[in-house]
Amino acid sequence: MEFVPTDGRQVYCSSQHRIDSNNDKRKVIDAIERNFTSRVKNNEKILIKIIGSPFYIKNGFTHTFFLEHEYYDFETYHTIEYDEATNREIHFCYNHGIFIIDAEKKYLKIIIKEKNED
């Protein structure tokens, strides 16, 4: 069936087709957002697991090997903040952040974001 618009602003032949098209567009955006949120939450779970590990508790840092072993995605994080004292970049996955303390040895430090109390 061919659609011939009767007005220059008319894009869809019916309001239901407009609704269906917008729903299809929204599904694509929602899938992207769900995928990102899932990866960030998984990263945070890994950071929580590592920060509670005996190695981390004993040494106060972790090695990239441990994060890679848990399938930590270094390219996915929620926000970036900078430590004012050291000017280091901290990648946060919600409340848990990670930053490099020794690039050569691949040592990383995990921190927990302080909650603002009003």
Reported as type and span, the H/E element at residue 80 is: strand 79-82
Q: Is the model's pLDDT at 117 over the cut of 60?
A: no
Surface-to-core class of residue 99, CB atoms within 10 Å of its CB (0-12 exposed, 13-18 middle, 19+ buried) = middle
Mean pLDDT, the chain, whole residue set: 89
Contact between 95 and 109 (Cβ < 8 Å): no
What pTM value is reported for the model? 0.76
Domain spans of the chain?
15-112
Segment 17-71, tens digit of pLDDT: 888 888 999 999 999 999 999 999 999 999 999 999 999 999 999 999 999 999 9
